Structure 1
């Protein structure tokens, strides 16, 4: 097997790469920080190709696909993501547009480009990393929460299309709660609850992906959020989320 992993320089993406490598999967790793990708490549016991790219740039996203389209990719892991914390009327428009480019546009483009190739092969996996945020309104992290809802719904819709077509290609979407990575530092937040371990989330995600699971919910807390959003009115969820989010200010 061969996998392309975006956002592989740290956090869940790096640990997903490690988990896939432990299963003998050769890798193509991409992120902006090339030196970190090379450091990861040196520790992995499988062939690794490093392709640095800035996924806020649509030309680089397309260039990434063109660079690997002949390599018979079996697994696409869309992990790269960004967050911006603060009231919607105060946060930077430029930072939020970059967030949308990475969290939505890049994932959409890579799925759009890879799905026909995988479908033609009749097999393969796409793992999109969303968040438990996808189930909730997210005041003070509004763009991030909304972007993850897009990832969740796109994943579910494409998975159903592939199922109806009788395709062996499986789409999975990972929706973890807080995970201890560099994400919170970059987004400018400090989690008020203890996060899950990135390595454990990655291993769980890869196992469930290879089993063909659509919705991957690591941890009891994430499963509880999924249940609550079905029974609690959105207005109350938004108010509760605001109280949780305001404690995240670093």
Structure 2
């Protein structure tokens, strides 16, 4: 059994890698920071292959697939991603475009290419890490929220296609709320409410992925937030989201 995890150098990606290793999976871990991946390798007892790549570059995504397509991968976890905080007219365009390449384009490329292989085998799991942000508009985090909505809807659409064909491949979207990871520092924010531990989120995500759950929402608070977001008009949800974002106080 073998799993490929992107963004495995820290946070949810790292903890998902550890969780899969506990279940006996050999790992292929990908991120930009080799030293972090090497430290991860020292922690697990299964085989670990390290591949460094910058997934904001399309050619690097294609290289990652090319270097691993012959590995008979059973699980793909698209975790790499980050956020850019601030008013849309003030945030840096280059940084935002880089974020969209990581959050959307890399997920799109890797999901499509590995899905084709999984369908041929009629087995496999794909876990795309989205966010509870994908359920609503996100003023002061607009591009990030929109990117996670893309990941969520892409996953749901693919899942329905697979159901119609009776294919044995499972595709899931992980949609956590606040999690205690390096995401906060990268985005320059502090969450106004306490976040879940990435280890707990990872364990829950892996469990639900193998159970075939399409949309995985860890934590009672985020489950409730999703429920009420469905009931309220988008205008009210946007106002509430704006208040939440202001509480994140950019660093």
Q: What is the TM-score with the length of structure 2 in the denominator?
A: 0.99
Cα offset, 1:223, TM superposition: 0.4
Aligned-pair CA distance for 1:42: 1.2
Distance in 1 between residues matched to 2:125 and 2:151, nearest whole Å: 16
* Alpha-carbon distance, 1:190 to partner: 0.6
Number of the residue aligned with 2:140? 140
State the alpha-carbon separation in 2 of the partners of residues 112 and 170 from structure 1: 13
Deviation at 1:247, TM superposition (A): 1.5
Cα deviation, 1:180-233, whole Å, max 9, x if unaligned, reads: 001010001110100001100000000010111111110001101110111011
Which residue of structure 2 lines up, in the alignment, with residue 182 of structure 1?
182
Contact 1:13 1:80 in 2 (8 A): yes
* 2:114 corresponds to: 114
Contact persistence 1:135–1:225 (CA under 8 A)? no
SS at match of 1:248: coil
Q: Which residue of 2 aligns with 1:195?
A: 195
Shift of 1:165: 1.1
* Residue 160 of structure 2 is aligned to residue 163 of structure 1: no
Pairwise mapping of residues 63-74 of structure 1 onto structure 2 (< 5 A)?
Answer: 63-74=63-74
Distance in 2 between residues matched to 1:239 and 1:191, nearest whole Å: 17
Tell me the residue number matched to 1:212.
Answer: 212
Distance 2:90 2:105 in 1: 23
Distance (whole Å) between structure 2 residues aligned to residue 66 and residue 95 of structure 1: 27
Match of 1:237 in 2: 237
When normalised by structure 1's length, the TM-score is 0.99
Q: Distance in 2 between matches of 1:241 and 1:213?
A: 26
In 1, Cα distance between equivalents of 2:4 and 2:226? 29
1:79 equivalent in alignment to 2:79: yes
What do residues 66-96 of structure 1 show as CA deviations (whole Å, max 9, x unaligned)? 0000000100000001100000000000010
The whole-number CA distance in structure 2 between the counterparts of 1:225 and 1:53 is 35
- Counterpart for residue 5 of structure 1: 5
CA distance in 2 between counterparts of 1:226 and 1:192 reads 18
**Structure-2 residue corresponding to 1:222:** 222
**Structure 1: gaps (5+ residues):** none
Q: How many correspondences in the alignment?
A: 250
Q: Following TM superposition, by how much is the alpha carbon of 1:120 offset from its aligned partner in structure 2, in angstroms?
A: 0.3
For residues 35-50 of structure 1, what are the structure 2 equivalents within 5 Å?
Answer: 35-50=35-50
- 1:31 and 2:31 are equivalent in the alignment: yes
Per-residue deviation, 1:113: 0.6
**Any runs of at least 4 consecutive aligned residues in structure 1 with deviations exceeding 6 A, and if so which?**
none
d(CA) in 2 for partners of 1:228 and 1:41? 41
Match of 1:101?
A: 101
Q: Mean Cα displacement is larger for which, 158-167 or 5-14?
A: 158-167
